[in-house]
Amino acid sequence: MLEHIELDGGTIAVDVSGTGPLVVLAHGMGDSRHSYRFLVPELVAAGHRVANVDIRGCGDSSTGWSGYERGDIAADLVAVVRHLGGPAVIVGQSISGGAATIAAADAPDVIAGIVELAPFTRAQSFDLGGFLRNRNQHRSGTVQLAKVMTTGSLTGWLAYLDIAVPTKPKDWTAERRRIEDALRQPERMAVLRAMTKTSPADAGARLADLRCPVLVVEGSADPDWADPVAEGRRVLADLPTGLGELAVIEGAGHYPHTETPAEVLALLLPFLRRTLAAMPIGDDRA
């Protein structure tokens, strides 16, 4: 059931299915809720109500928002949870991993836990040594992202995706075409460019404020970092002691939920049981 939630500045599209404890899925930049197409039916079958969100400016959500920072996306996600009747676990990938951090810090009453997939959740510093050493992944991916940021290059984004998704899902040809068609719309490409220019420093500043469980999932072949496992460890180090856990999926890139959905699900379901089992279920619509 696709809902359009009216917020100040625009509308957020949310596809809600299933019954049970609430899980909110939020994708990365340049994508849409379709990114979670392999996880949604499995989560529903496992007894969850799943709210699959098109973050602001993407998918069926409106464009023309005043900002695309992680804090902006976080406010939207909290609004979705309150609209649907939390508490919820938020699963956020890339930019939405950082947004999930801020959401949990701002709304501990309705956010029971967060899962961050390949998250940009800390202020980044340029790793010159890693950039020079890791030519096939990190260096190549960074160059393509720079093209998107500076010129809005669709060719650059598609080339980045081919690097960032080393394990292609079975429907990759059609999925890549879907993404390409969406970003041929000037307003959608403008959103992607705006997101590439945001800093994850706002999310990093809130890591110490978290009180809920955090699961960070990194792909060992993620081209966005010279050492993605080290980045995951840095996120955990900035959390309160004992709050976070790190899982690494060997061979996965920046989109583990589409590349290796079975492995992500095997990590996600136990986390959901631990964090949601004792929580009261809100408005169980769908």
**Residues of the chain under the 50 pLDDT cut:** 128, 131, 282-286
Question: 61 with 13: CB under 8 angstroms?
Answer: yes
Q: Within a 10 A sphere around the Cβ of 122, how many other Cβ atoms? A: 20
| pLDDT score recorded for residue 28 | 97
In this structure, the strands spanning 49-54 and 10-17 are antiparallel
- Pick from 75, 103, 108: nearest CA to 91: 103
Rounded Cα gap, residues 262 and 260, in angstroms: 6
Average pLDDT of the chain, as a whole number: 92
CA 163 and chain centroid, separation = 18
DSSP letter assigned to residue 80: H
102 phi and psi angles, rounded to 5 deg: -65, -40
| pLDDT score recorded for residue 142 | 81
Rounded Cα gap, residues 26 and 104, in angstroms: 14
| pLDDT score recorded for residue 125 | 61
Rounded Cα gap, residues 222 and 205, in angstroms: 24
Question: 51 with 88: CB under 8 angstroms?
Answer: yes
Q: What share of the chain is helix, strand, coil (3-state, %, to 5)?
A: 45, 15, 35
Give residue for tokens 């393509």. Answer: 144
Domains (range + CATH), the chain: 2-126+198-276 (3.40.50.1820)
| pLDDT score recorded for residue 141 | 72
DSSP letter assigned to residue 165: -
Rounded Cα gap, residues 65 and 59, in angstroms: 14
